[in-house]
Amino acid sequence: MAAKIAYEDVEVGTELPAGTFPVTRATLVQYAGASGDFNPIHWNETFATQVGLPDVIAHGMLTMAEAARVVTDWVGDPGAVVEYGVRFTKPVVVPNDDQGAVIEVSGKVAAKLEDNRVRVDLTAVSAGQKVLGMSRAVVRLA
């Protein structure tokens, strides 16, 4: 499946459709099972607070993956993402309630590169705090 967006149709400043991703304790259990990451900071409140965290936190890779979904949903082909990286700046705290946490992600085309590639800069926020820094993807467009 090729990227659905044509390089010539994209300009610097083009905004990607934003994404909102709920994360509950059940989400963390599912992700732990899929990833094999059973670190107790992701499920044990007592342990998480003993190591200095405010509560159980989402897996960093889960947060990173949710942010990438904004890019892959926009481009229409996950294989079009040729580079992706982030810095983890704040944890996504997931309270033990019916609502959990929400990760809100927005993205913007920051640069047009060679070979039909663009750089997309992403912003990921949870509970009013920026949770990813330097979140960037390079995408090859049609």
pTM: 0.94
pLDDT value for 1: 67
Q: Which fold has domain 7-23+58-140?
A: Thiol Ester Dehydrase; Chain A (3.10.129)
Chain centroid to Cα 69, Å, comes to 7
H/E stretch holding 125: strand 117-126
**Position 2 pLDDT exceeds 90:** no
**How do residues 53-87 score in pLDDT, each as one tens digit?**
999 999 999 999 999 999 999 999 999 999 999 99
* Beta carbons of 63 and 132 less than 8 angstroms apart: yes
Spans of all domains in the chain? 7-23+58-140
The tokens describing 3, both together, are 């990227």
Count of H helices and E strands in the chain? 3, 5
**Position 33 pLDDT exceeds 70:** yes
pLDDT value for 98: 87
**How do residues 98-136 score in pLDDT, each as one tens digit?**
899 999 999 999 999 999 999 999 999 999 999 999 999
**Position 7 pLDDT exceeds 90:** yes
pLDDT value for 32: 97
The tokens describing 1, both together, are 């499946």
